[in-house]
With several copies, the nearest count.
Chain A
Amino acid sequence: MVNAINDALDIKLAEDKSVIVYGEDVGVEGGVFRVTEGLQQKYGASRVFDSPLAESGIVGTAVGMAVAGLRPVVEMQFCGFIYPAFNQIISHASRMRNRSRGKFETPMVIRMPYGGGINALEHHSESMETIFGHIPGLKVVVPSTPHDAKGMLIAAIESNDTILFMEPKRIYRAIKQEVDEGKFTIPLGKANILTQGTDVTVVAYGAMVREVQKAMVMAKEAGISVELIDLRSIYPIDRETISKSVKKTGRIITVTEGPRTYGVGSEISQIAIEEAFLNLEAPPSRVSGFDVIVPLPKGEHHFIQDPYKIFYEIERIVKY
């Protein structure tokens, strides 16, 4: 996925002079995950560069650049370090068009590795997509494969909206996949049905997709047919795809990494009951983190979703 993202940036930098890439250590070093590796050499230090260590500064200046016609793509070094930029995101990046009644736009992308499972220090493993998904005017997307990462990032850079592009760092280098060369886009806001099934719909995104797939092996053994939806977009939510699927299966489970209460799961459940109440054969359910702070590595296995946990819930809901 790292290569796919790098590729997307490369393509857009080559194609559009208004694209600017910056953030902490993204220039000379090419980012702590090497996502921007080689881009400064290729496009020069006025287009790909290191910023001072200040997240509000990074996002706030990007708002200014975007208003002035550039297309900044900025990096937050880790999910836990986006919060100093929170005010700029919620008060400006997501509001400028609405505030100025369409006179100014902020076409910008905030890239951020997120999620657990990499034995990292505190604040390096959070999955707090809900709080961003709840911000009006912002779009929040998450790819689950290298292919999607490339197509979605290109679409994000070309969008005139402000996009929070969350990268599941756990699978940065985990998934081997041939990615189409050259430019292509994947429309933002559309979920992707990865596996058709009949007994239960499972909604996941990012690194959780792979975990669900592992659980599906167990489910298959148990004779359960799972329909797997990669949500891809935390906001806006692709209501239609969810609706159709749950009407068909009558059961739905959402698998997420973040804290349970006010997590993405309850919103998907709400959609299911709004759309398919009379079709439901079991309560829409969720597998999620607990309402706790992500434990440090030695305790993280208690927090992250293992395939057994997912299968456990699939079985429970199907037997309901």
Chain B
Amino acid sequence: MFNEYNPLKKAMFQVIDNDGKVINKRWMPQISDTRLLKIYKDMLFARVADLQIVSYQRQGRIFTYPPNYGQEAIAAAAGALIQDNDWMVPAFREMGTMLAKGVTLKELFLYFMGYEDGSKFENAKFTLPISVPIASQLLHAAGIGYAVKYNNEDKVIYAFVGDGGTSEGDFHEAVNFAGVWKVPVIFIIQNNQYGISTPTKMQTASDSLAIKAVAYGVKGIQVDGNDLFAMYKAIEESVKVCRNGEGPVLIEAVTYRKGAHTTSDDPTKYRTKEEEQEWDERDPMKRLKSYLIANKLWSEKEEDKIIPQFKEEVDRQFIEAENYGPYPKEDVFKYLYAEMPDDLHDQERQYDRFLQWKATKVK
């Protein structure tokens, strides 16, 4: 597959077309109907959650939030394949994979409401917190890859980055280190066409992002990121490469950020209605749904039934997060060092004294 879709050939790997029809039987992944349905529902859940969060934000109930809207197939495919013991190294637009690892929506809500507790990911093993500084997390993935290889563990590291992130030096260093060390990392670039307002063509003059694999001597492939089957198959094959000790893989998943960059962004400033409509045709949910309906695995009726349930579930977790309670003062100081240095301890005590004094002033 990596030969057939060598990025130098400039062909994007696709399995279904915009109407959900299989156009590439050879590479159609084997997914059982139940499993496929589960994946679709996970994508749907992510989308429902996503749209709902945007409306919470409008109500002022959450701060910034970066929607996954339109990119659900990528995180869902990775989520379907990632194992409990595999590592997840997120950027910040991979809700599907995080949920699959056991992160809860409530935790994500807490995080975006402004609690570090939301990054603890109590039930998600081997899942790093969201990384805000673009591309820097990729080096962690390479380092984890080294540890996994050093310890002879049978684990794969899933690492995410955006198209914008490929311009950072850390992207270069990470894929390069991983290539030299031949470590089992799948680097997934979500090329959603923009880094905030900046289009991908202003990030780089290269023919594609997948082609950058050549610079590191690693396998690369450009995949239709709105085609769940293609994403699934590409990751499945990448996992094999990794488990065979053949080193890292670079996947460019071509997609589109249908929403705003974050809830504080206004995309009408930098892109056209026509462009948005064009991408609507390629919407990953729509395409998978067409496939499912055509194959009698799903119906609009079922969808109409399940959406309210999902909304309710999202709301339930959101309200739980909203009622999380105050942020304990101790938490400001507690996690800096394995043991708190005396001086920091003093600072905390001084703060206590101030708070006591303040309590007498402010009633």
Q: Does A291 belong to the interface (CB within 8 Å)? A: yes
Beyond A120-B63, A239-B343, A295-B116, whether A84 also contacts B169 by CB under 8 A is yes
CB atoms of B136 and A92 under 8 A apart: yes
Q: A100-B119, A239-B346, A293-B336 are in contact. Are A60 and B140 (CB under 8 A)?
A: yes
Residues 71-127 (chain B) with a chain A CB within 8 angstroms? 87, 111-117, 119-121
Q: Is the CB of B343 within 8 A of A28?
A: no
The answer to whether A312 and B146 touch across the interface, beta carbons within 8 angstroms, is no
Which residue of A53, A136, A239, A292 is within 8 Å of B168 (Cβ)?
A53
Give CA–CA (A53, B335) in the complex, Å: 31
| Closest residue on chain B to residue A92 by CB atoms | B136
Q: Taking the complex as formed, is A160 at the interface, i.e. its CB lies under 8 A from any CB of chain B?
A: yes
Taking CB atoms, residues of chain B closer than 8 Å to A55 are: 168
B173, A24: Cβ atoms under 8 Å?
no
Q: Is A28 in contact with B195, judged by CB distance below 8 angstroms? A: no
| Residue of A whose beta carbon sits closest to that of B362 | A308
User: Given contacts A92-B136, A101-B117, A300-B114, is CB(A54)–CB(B173) below 8 Å?
Assistant: yes
The answer to whether residues A67 and B144 also contact, given A84-B170, A290-B348 and a CB cut-off of 8 A, is yes
Rounded to whole Å, the gap between the CB of A158 and the closest CB of chain B is 10
Q: A51-B177, A64-B145 are in contact. Are A291 and B269 (CB under 8 A)?
A: no
Q: Which residues of B contact A66 (CB under 8 A)?
A: 143
Label chain B's interface by main secondary structure.
helix
Does B28 sit within 8 A of A, measured CB to CB? Answer: no
B119 touches A101 (CB 8 A): yes
Give the size of the chain A interface in residues (CB under 8 angstroms).
82
- Among B134, B143, B270, B336, chain A packs the most CB atoms within 10 A around the CB of B143
CB contacts (< 8 Å) of B180 on chain A: these are 52
Q: When the two chains form the complex, which single residue of A57, A124, A298 contacts B115, counting CB atoms closer than 8 Å?
A: A298
Known: A161-B337, A312-B358. A28 touches B270 (CB 8 A): yes
Q: Give A65 to B112 CA distance when docked, in angstroms.
A: 27
Q: Determine if A261 and B343 form an interchain contact, defined as CB atoms under 8 angstroms apart.
A: yes
Q: In the bound complex, do residue A65 and residue B144 qualify as a contact, i.e. CB atoms below 8 Å apart?
A: yes
Question: Would you give the shortest CB distance from B144 to chain A, in whole angstroms?
Answer: 4
Residue ranges of B at the interface with A (Cβ–Cβ < 8 Å):
63-64, 87, 111-117, 119-121, 128-129, 131-134, 136, 138-148, 150-151, 164-165, 167-170, 173-174, 176-177, 180, 195-198, 202-204, 264-265, 269-270, 326-327, 329, 331-338, 341-344, 346-348, 351, 354, 357-358, 361-362
A-B contact pairs, 14 of them (CB 8 A): A27-B197, A32-B265, A52-B180, A53-B164, A55-B168, A57-B173, A57-B177, A67-B140, A70-B146, A80-B133, A84-B169, A121-B63, A237-B343, A239-B343
Q: A20-B146, A237-B343, A299-B114 are in contact. List 16 more A-B contacts (CB 8 A).
A: A24-B196, A29-B270, A50-B202, A53-B195, A57-B139, A65-B146, A70-B147, A80-B132, A87-B133, A101-B117, A103-B119, A121-B132, A189-B341, A297-B114, A302-B351, A309-B354
